Amino acid sequence: MTHPIIEVALNPDAFFRKRADRPPELKVPALIVLITGIIGGIGAYMTTNLIAPAFPPEVQGIMGVAAIVAAVGAVVFSLIVWVVIAVLFYGVSSVLGGSGDLKKTIEATGYGYVPEILGSLMSLALTIQFASSFALPQIDFNDPAAVTALQESITHSPMMMAAVLISIVFLLWSANIWVYGVKYARHLSLKNAAISVGVPVAIYIIYQIITLGVV
């Protein structure tokens, strides 16, 4: 018998077909999303500490607190984004004739985060590698050009770009799971479920690529 987590990752059609008639249950999906949020929080904590040396000495004293706030914020944000993504799927699928409980869509969206656990761990490993190999100069944050240069030195570094590209790859894996989740949660054809998921995911990926400065 295949473990449910493995099944949802590798055979989402069978996973969601079995759960189609069950009442929605959010505990496991929430735990999955929370794990990705904690991993993201660790990354946010490390990134904040990474840029701390670039701030004036009088500001560096509060960077420890800022790092904790960033970490907690990343965890909370992950839970908010989970619901927002589900609402987007719900809204687009409604236009395409979908029907079904929003809570069922939220449940399916949470299960789609399973690949994100692995992707987040890989991105975190790259962030740790980057943080240990990159020394930032102290800059004047009243100088927009210096701030822009600092941002680009971080976001355009090969490791950080690799982290973003990895996140896109695992997002596509999640999107494949979401398609089948939305199909059964919203009683749609596979084509309309793919459109419901594909539109918001494609917009996000295009935004990420533009942010990288590739286009």
pLDDT value for 165: 85
**Residues 132 and 92: beta-carbon distance below 8 Å:** no
Alpha-carbon gap, residue 156 to 187, rounded angstroms: 42
Q: Residue 145: pLDDT band by 50, 70, 90 thresholds?
A: confident
Instruction: Compute the residue count for the chain.
Output: 215
* Low-confidence winner among 8-12, 20-24, 66-70, 207-211 (lowest mean pLDDT): 207-211
Residue 166 pLDDT exceeds 90: no
Which tokens sit at 66?
Answer: 């800022």
Residue 196 pLDDT exceeds 90: yes
pLDDT value for 146: 75
**Residues 214 and 130: beta-carbon distance below 8 Å:** no
Mean pLDDT of 15-41: 95
Mean pLDDT of 95-110: 95
Q: Where are the alpha helices (DSSP H) in 96-189?
A: 102-111, 114-133, 144-155, 158-185
Residue-wise pLDDT tens digits, 54-84? 777 777 778 788 889 999 999 999 999 999 9
Alpha-carbon gap, residue 167 to 150, rounded angstroms: 22
pLDDT value for 147: 74
pLDDT value for 3: 87
Q: Where are the alpha helices (DSSP H) in 52-62?
A: 57-60
pLDDT value for 50: 76
| The Cα angle at residue 72 between residues 68 and 73, in degrees rounded to 5 | 110
pTM attached to this predicted model = 0.85
Q: What's the mean per-residue pLDDT of the chain?
A: 88
pLDDT value for 49: 81
